[in-house]
Amino acid sequence: MLARLRKPWPDVRAERMLGAVSCLLAVLVVGMVVFVAIHAWPTFSHNGLGWLGSGETPETSFEKMQATSVNPPPSAYHLRAWPLLYGTLLTTVVSVACAFVVSLFASIFIVELAPERLRRLTIPVIRLLASVPSVVYGLLGVLVLVPFVGNHLVTASEKASVANTIELTGAGLLVTVVILTVMIAPIMIALTCEALASVPSSWREGAIALGLNPLRAILAVTVRAARPAIVAAAVLASARALGEAIMISMVSGGRAFKPNLDHGLLIFLYSPLRTFASTIVDFREGISAPALGSSLYAIALLMLLGGFVLSVCGYLIKLPLRKYQVRG
């Protein structure tokens, strides 16, 4: 029998085997979505659309859930996750916006303005920033940035003014957004550089010939032509920002609070918050309580759907690129 396995296989069998192995992957992915959805169903069925509304703080709901262990009554599933959704959207949107600006100008620098030696230096730099593990970023945040903000930037009067609602320890929106920007910028820079580099330089030279100065020509022609690819890069980066769990759990203050511009810009920046991903990390020990476990799986399902929607958007945005034969 072993001898038969060792002889070269007929092509048809080989193709079927390899195809079966590949299908296994598809089955795994479908299985992932199905498993998560099955575990998430109870909390959605008990809360309905109100799951995304506001009401009781999520932490209070989670702690009530942990108190009911086996066979929890329907009331145990109560959850109003709007503060978590708000925190997720806030961090993602703000950090992608900051990273977009930084990445665009950094890419223009790398592709068009940098002297050759400096440009050769930036490739390893970007690779380095992209490959630093998120727990190392989180460690930097929690041991350096959070004490810095908490002890040197937050003033006593600011602390006192919100003392009845939250505590400003330095861990909050500001540090989260700063580190998240540094984490997602390399992805955006790499994609944007590639997009800018693939715009034919004759287009830009034509603009210069017509009298534009070089930087204006870059902005008006190259960047404009690569716009879909740049937007697709932003979409990919926001999928990364959405899924970041460990770093945010370490620096965001761990409190499902909705940062409010009414308190003033500074306090808005210092406010603690919680995102979907950091909630899963923070409450992972209680996952054995059915109600809490179902809520965490529901959060995971939403993250899966969000990531999927972003991928589809990115794909749709890149479709027009083929028209201009600009590599994306």
Partner 1 sequence: MQRLRRISVALAVAGVLGVAAPAAANAVTTVTISGATASYPLVNLLAQKYVKLHPGKVKFKIAQGGAQVGINDVAAGRVTIGDVSRDPLLSDPAGLVFYPIAKYGICVITNKSDALANLTSSQLVNIFTGKTRSWSGIPGASASGTIDVVSRTSVAGVLTNFQTLLLEGKKVFSAASEQSSEGLMRQAVENDPNAIGFVSNYQSDKGSVHAVNISGVACNRSTVTSGTYPGVARFYEVTKGKATGAASAFIGWIRASSAARKIISTQWVPVT
Partner 2 sequence: MSTLVPFEFDEPRVMQTGRGRRSSPMTWRWRDRFALVLAWSAGIVLVLVAGAIVAYFAFRGVQYLRPSLIFSRPQISASQAGSGGFLDPLLGTMVLTAVGIVLALPLAVASAVWMSEYGRPRWLARVIESCIEIVAGTPDIVIALFGLAVFQLSFMGPFSFKASGGGIYGRSFLAAGAMMSLIALPPIFAATRDGLQAVPGHMREAAFALGKTRITTIRRVLLPSVRSNMATGVTLGISRIIGDTAIVVLLLGESLRLESQGAVPGLGLLRGTGSTLTSYVFGNSPAGEGAAPQKAYAAAFVLLVFVLGLNLLVERIGRHQERATGLSVATGAV
Q: Which of residues 24-83 bind partner 2 (CB under 8 A)?
A: 24-26, 28-32, 35-36, 39
CA dist., res. 159 & res. 40, Å (int): 38
Binding mask 227-266 for partner 1 (x = CB under 8 A): ---------------------------xx-----------
- If binding is defined by CB under 8 A, does position 66 make contact with partner 1? yes
Task: 285-291: list long-range contacts, CB under 8 Å, 24+ apart.
Answer: 286/62, 286/65, 286/66, 289/65, 289/66, 289/68, 289/69, 289/72, 290/42, 290/69, 290/70, 290/71, 290/72, 291/42, 291/43, 291/65, 291/68, 291/72, 291/76, 291/77
Among 52, 89, 97, 102, binds partner 2 (CB under 8 A): 102
Among 71, 115, 152, 156, binds partner 2 (CB under 8 A): 115
By a kind-dependent CB cut-off of 5 to 8 A, residue 93 interacts, out of partner 2, partner 1, none, with: none
Which residue type, as a one-letter code, is found at position 43?
T
- If binding is defined by CB under 8 A, does position 179 make contact with partner 1? no
Q: For 209, how many CA atoms within 13 A lie in the half-sphere containing its CB?
A: 6
- If binding is defined by CB under 8 A, does position 189 make contact with partner 2? yes
- If binding is defined by CB under 8 A, does position 111 make contact with partner 2? yes
Evaluated on CA atoms 97, 101, 106, 112, the torsion sign reads positive
**Count of residues in contact with partner 2, rule CB under 8 A:** 103
- Of 57-65, 118-126, 193-201, 297-305, the window that binds partner 1 (rule: CB under 8 A) is 57-65
**Cβ atoms of residues 234 and 188 within 8 Å:** yes
- If binding is defined by CB under 8 A, does position 63 make contact with partner 1? yes
Report the chain's C-alpha Rg in angstroms: 24
**Exposure class string for 190-201: b at 16+ Cβ within 10 A, else e:** bbbbbbbebbee
DSSP category for residue 302: H
- If binding is defined by CB under 8 A, does position 308 make contact with partner 2? yes
- If binding is defined by CB under 8 A, does position 119 make contact with partner 1? no
- If binding is defined by CB under 8 A, does position 165 make contact with partner 1? yes
Show contacts with partner 2 in window 146-185 (CB under 8 A): 182, 185
List of residues contacting partner 1 (CB under 8 A): 2-3, 57, 59, 63, 66-67, 69-70, 147, 150, 156, 159-160, 163-167, 169, 254-255, 282, 285-286, 288-289
